[in-house]
Amino acid sequence: MVQHHHRNRHRQDQETVEENKGKRPKLFINDHVDILVEILKRLDGRSLGVATCVCRLWCTIARNDSLWEDLCFRHVSPPPSSVRSVVVALGGYKRLYMACVRPVLSRLGRVRRASWTRDEVQLSLSLFCVDCYERLGGSNSPNGRLVGELSPSSLMFLCKPVNV
Amino acid sequence: MKREHEEICGATSYGSGSGSKAESSTIGNPNKGKLWEEEQDAGGMDELLAVLGYKVRYSDMADVAQKLEQLEMVMGTAQEDGISHLSCDTIHYNPSDLSGWVQSMLTELNNPAAVNLDPVLGNSNSNSSILGQINHDPSKPQRQQQLVSSNQSQVYNDDSEYDLRAIPGVAANPPPKSESDSESTRKRMKTSIGSSGSTGYGSSSSSPQGIGVSGAVTESTRPVVLIDSQETGVRLVHTLMACAEAVQQDNLKLADALVKHIGLLAASQAGAMRKVATYFAEALARRIYRIYPQDSLDPSYTDILQMHFYETCPYLKFAHFTANQAILEAFATANSVHVIDFGLKQGMQWPALMQALALRPGGPPAFRLTGIGPPQPDNSDALQQVGWKLAQLADTIGVEFEFRGFFATSLADLEPEMLEIRPPEVEAVAVNSVFELHRLLARPGGIEKVLSSIKAMKPKILTVVEQEANHNGPFFVDRFTEALHYYSSLFDSLEGSGVAPPSQDLVMSELYLGRQICNVVACEGMDRIERHETLTQWRTRMETAGFSPVHLGSNAYKQASMLLALFAGGDGYRVEENNGCLMLGWHTRPLIATSAWQLATTESGK
């Protein structure tokens, strides 16, 4: 639905622009990917998720992990570079955000407000790491019965609705 | 205690009184209500009171309770010496007949004489503290009556308070008037109870008035007593305590009867109270019948239970996070670190530590982990699997990792040499124990040996997480009471965790706690491994052994608070700081405590 709306708007833009008979240069955002990226960088998590549904180009861009990294650390002083390698290894910033940062922030009531502190991100990282550990299968070992049986659920408590 | 009595007809019979016809029934069998042929329905005897020596029928319970309440009111309002004659002048020929006894007291009060009655008054005052704890609404006579009956009966259990075989008094020659009075009164009271019950007979109920008013005598109805779950909750607790007392006194018959009663009462409760009561009742039954639980269960089963406990509530997460923070701060400058984990289980504590080490400014140190676990019955190498998983994770995040696993039935079997400790200049050592040290208290000398082994390892830091409760006292009843309160809080917190009730997680977590309860209550000697002690006790022990405390910093506190806020029902959990140690509790009750220690040497600490 959103896709449709956006496409319509683009077409409309194009049409209105064409109506102006070349008095103004045509601006089709998809031609200016760097501007698009700058815009998307400033979106919040939900909008970024929505943006991936717009069109293929937007999807590719919005799925880029660096955008999500900016989202995670936006209001926090830039973390040391080592964080990136760790997070990427554990599954990427988008996963970090969706699995941990967002639930953590919403539980702590901070999603709407702009700023959050380093601590929340640190905590999310720790929980994320535990989750990744759980997901590691014991594929090599023959007696992996215990390891394989337990589905990763250390983050289940974040998914449960609060104050049911 | 059972008492045998003969009924003396003239003295205490009030016409067709309810409990007063002690027709040669053997008191030992409270269920033979059929022997009692009365005008009312012959209900069964109340089992609880029967066990305590009083024969009161179910149908009369409300009646007796109301009379007791009147008695108490009169005693309370009478002049100090207005009712004292009751202690000296009244004959009671059948003390097990609670109903008749109270009736005789009431008729006495109708004809007051002036004697001193301090002891009885004193008793009712001591009762008030028990009653005071229970919020009873005076406009609900039913509840109050039941409370009064159960509490008063416990007081009267103690013969020494007053001599029931008193010298003859007015009660020996009751005037016929009082007989009819009491009869009609009783009927009137019954009517009023019946009408305030759910059946709604006859006239409106009123709060019990003084006797002597002979109201309209309507058909005697079977009184209906509303079972109030709050009041049965109180009864449940009292029954549990009474059972524990009986077990301690080795009065197994009584304990057996009470345990069965607990089962009934527990069924009337809901939620956490019911579950706790059921587990405690089962544990008591095991203790009574000596069916001890098998301790040699598959360790992987306990691991599964603990995993569910890990997910449902924050206690283990709190333990891991706070201990990790302490270890992290101790390892701030080391290039090579070695962690010895006394209870590796699934290794859930270490990913977070490894991640924090990986992100350390200056890069991660080389990380060596030694995990200790119980031997597996099927010889599978569970420790190695966990180590392998951790190695995978370490590889992913770029931390140099080495793992060794040791199987040990008891930590006291470990020797420091087996662990290949490297000298402190080369490698910083941390020892971590989450809910493991208390098991050593079962073996004499166990804890001392382990603490000296730890000292031989020369750790930079020792982190200890233990339950905050005293379940290791010398007396069974004290342990039982403590455990009851502790696990009630724990189960309450599980209920409040926002997990939908028939969830597998919740059930498994409760089972995990239930096994602990079973061990605390039912086992003894070497089998009783859940010997929890309080932080203060551990502090003393550690300091005597030569450790000095390390304060957990504000980082740990912040992380812990944030973690708790994430849990549904998070407002029930509380983090407290206690002299550098962190305690996690549910509302006002601290439940687990994390503390950190270092060797108290003259060398520079940190």
- Domain positions in chain B: 229-289, 300-468+532-599
Q: What is the mean pLDDT of residues B460-465?
A: 94
Give the pLDDT band of residue B551 (cuts 50, 70, 90): very high
How distant, in Å, are the alpha carbons of A4, A51, A94, B20, B208 from that of A46?
18, 9, 12, 78, 66
pLDDT at B239 over 70: yes
Mean pLDDT check: name the lowest of B79-83, B228-232, B525-529.
Answer: B79-83
What pLDDT is stored for residue B171 in this prediction? 42
pLDDT at B597 over 90: yes
What pLDDT is stored for residue A136 in this prediction? 80
CB contact residues (below 8 A), chain B span 213-272, against chain A: none
Those residues with Cβ within 8 angstroms of residue B69's Cβ, 6 or more apart along the chain or in another chain: B141, B144, B145, B148, B208
- Check residue B444 and give left, alpha or beta (phi > 0: left; psi -120 to 50: alpha): beta
CATH code for the part of the protein at B300-468+532-599: 3.40.50.150
- Give the one of A126, A140, A162 whose C-beta lies nearest to B355's C-beta: A126
What pLDDT is stored for residue B49 in this prediction? 78
Mean pLDDT check: name the lowest of B83-92, B239-248, B567-576.
Answer: B83-92
Give the pLDDT band of residue B452 (cuts 50, 70, 90): very high
In Å, how far is B391's CA from the nearest CA of chain A?
Answer: 10
- Tell me which chain B residue has its CA closest to the CA of residue A128: B352
What pLDDT is stored for residue B229 in this prediction? 62
A161: amino acid identity, one letter: P
Q: Mutate which of B385, B506, B509 to disrupt the A interface (most A C-beta within 10 Å)?
A: B385
CB contact residues (below 8 A), chain B span 262-321, against chain A: 300, 303-304, 307, 310-312, 314, 321
The two tokens of residue B424 are 């402190």
Distance CA B505, CA A160 (A): 12
What pLDDT is stored for residue A73 in this prediction? 77
Distance CA A117, CA A75 (A): 7
Q: What is the mean pLDDT of residues B549-574?
A: 84
pLDDT at B220 over 80: no
pLDDT at B486 over 90: yes
How distant, in Å, are the alpha carbons of A90, B324, B354, B358 from that of A84?
10, 22, 15, 11
A126 and B381: CB-CB below 8 Å?
no
pLDDT at B27 over 60: no
Is the pLDDT higher at B529 or at B163?
B529
ipTM of the complex: 0.71
pLDDT at B490 over 60: yes
CB contact residues (below 8 A), chain B span 317-376, against chain A: 321, 346-348, 351-352, 354-356, 358-359, 361, 363
Percent of chain A whose pLDDT exceeds 70? 60
Q: What is the mean pLDDT of residues B305-311?
A: 87
Which residues in chain A have their CB less than 8 angstroms from residue B347's CB?
133
**Between the ranges A136-150, B50-64, B163-177, B208-222, where is the mean pLDDT highest?**
B50-64
What pLDDT is stored for residue B194 in this prediction? 34
B391 in reach of chain A (CB within 8 A):
no
Give the pLDDT band of residue B482 (cuts 50, 70, 90): very high
CB contact residues (below 8 A), chain A span 67-126, against chain B: 79-80, 82-83, 85-86, 89-90, 103-104, 107-108, 119-120, 122-123, 125-126
Give the pLDDT band of residue A150 (cuts 50, 70, 90): very low
Percent of chain A whose pLDDT exceeds 90? 0
Asked whether A55 and A30 are in contact (CB, 8 A), the reply is: yes
Mean pLDDT check: name the lowest of A109-118, B360-369, B432-441.
Answer: A109-118
Is the pLDDT higher at B83 or at B332?
B332
Is the pLDDT higher at B123 or at A18?
A18
Q: What is the mean pLDDT of residues A70-77?
A: 75
Is the pLDDT higher at B23 or at B81?
B81
